Amino acid sequence: MPALGQMSDYEIRLIRIFQTVVECGGFTAAETTLGISRSAISQHMNDLEGRLGFSLCQRGRGGFSLTEEGKEIYQAGLTLLTALETFKSDVNALHRTIKGELNIGITDNLVTLPAMHVTHALARLSAPEHDVTLHIYMEPSDAVIRGVMDGHLHVGVVPAVNLPTSLDTQHLYDEPSYLYCAADHPLFDRDDDRLTMSELAHHPAISPRYPLPAEARQAHDALCLRASASDREGAAFLILTGRFIGFLPEHVAEQWVAAGKMRALHTATQYYRIPFVLISRRDRRPNRVVDAFINFIDAPSAR
C-alpha cells in the first residue's frame, strides 16, 4: 500500500467523523452528534480505512474497540485538527470579521442572574457581521475548570473557589444566597424577629457537595446537615419537600418565592455572596474569537 499522499478536505472530514465515533464510543452513539445514519458512518469509516490501508476499529456484537493502528490514527488526528484550528485562528487575525468557534463552559443555574454579562457578550459575538459558532457546555464547576485547563473549552464561568494559579480570572458578578424553607415547613409562618440561630440549627438542613468559599461553608456548618445535594437544583428539590431548609441563590429561588412556595429565613444573618469569574488559560495561544469575547465581557453595555 503506498504512503498517504496529499490530504484533501474529504480526508480531513473522514478524520473528523472517526474522531467523533471514538469519542462517542461507537457508530450508533455517534449518529445524533454527526447527524447522519449508522450506515453512512460505516461507509465513511470503510472509506477512511481503505485510504489509510489498515483497519481502525473492531465493531460488531462484541462492541466497539480501536485497533492499535486506530489508536495511533486517533492521536495523530487530534494533532492535525488542532493544527488546523490554530491555522484558522491565525488567519482570522488578518480580517476584521471574526470567524471561528467559541467553546464556553458554564456552571448550571446562572441564566436567571439579573446581571447578564455573558449573555450580552455572546450576543455581540454572534452579531450578523461575524461568523462565529458558539458551543455552550453546562457542567459542574470542576468539569468546567478541567475543560479550560486541557483546552477542550476556551473559557469558563465558575465560582471563584479553589482555582488553579495557571488560570486568568475576570470578575463577572457576586451571587447572593439566602436560607430558604418551603410553604409547608414549620418555619414558614414564623417571624424573623422571633427566630433564633439555635432554632434554625434544630431543623434538618442540606449540605452542598459542590465548591463553596469559606464564608458559605461556615454558614452551612452552623446548621443541622441531614441531606446533601450535588447542585443548586438538587437543593431546591429537597427544600420543596417541606422537610429541609437550605441555601439557594436568590435568583434561583425567586420563582418559588413569587408563587408563595418558598420564603427566605432570617435574611439579616443567613446570607452570603459567591463571586463568579470568567476563566481562561494564562498560557493560551492568541485567538481572535476568545479575545473578542473577553473584550465584550469588559464592556457588556456596548451592544
Global confidence as pTM: 0.65
Which DSSP category does 98 fall into? -
Determine the pLDDT at residue 303.
Answer: 39
- The residues near 17 (Cβ < 8 Å, ≥ 6 apart) are 30, 34, 41, 44, 45, 48
Same domain membership, residue 48 and residue 179: no
Tell which of 57, 91, 125 closes a domain.
91
> End of a domain among 65, 91, 117?
91
Residue 303 lies in a domain: no
Rounded Cα distance between 92 and 166, Å, is: 26
- Tell me, rounded to whole angstroms, the distance of Cα 229 from its chain centroid: 18
CA distance 254 to 232: 13
What are 109-130's pLDDT values in tens digits? 777 776 778 999 999 999 988 8
Q: Which residues contact 125 (CB under 8 A, 6 or more apart)?
A: 98, 102, 132, 134, 289, 292, 293, 296
Residue 194 pLDDT > 90: no
Q: Which has the closest alpha carbon to 279: 131, 142, 124?
A: 142
Q: Which of 212, 201, 213 is nearest to 270 (CA)?
A: 201
Do 198 and 126 fall within a single domain? no
Residue 6 has pLDDT above 90, yes or no: no
Tell me if 23 is assigned to some domain: yes
Checking if the pLDDT of 161 tops 60, the result is yes
Digit-coded pLDDT (tens) for 291-302: 999 999 876 544
Domain extent at residue 43? 9-91
Instruction: Look up residue 289 and give its three cell numbers.
Output: 474569537
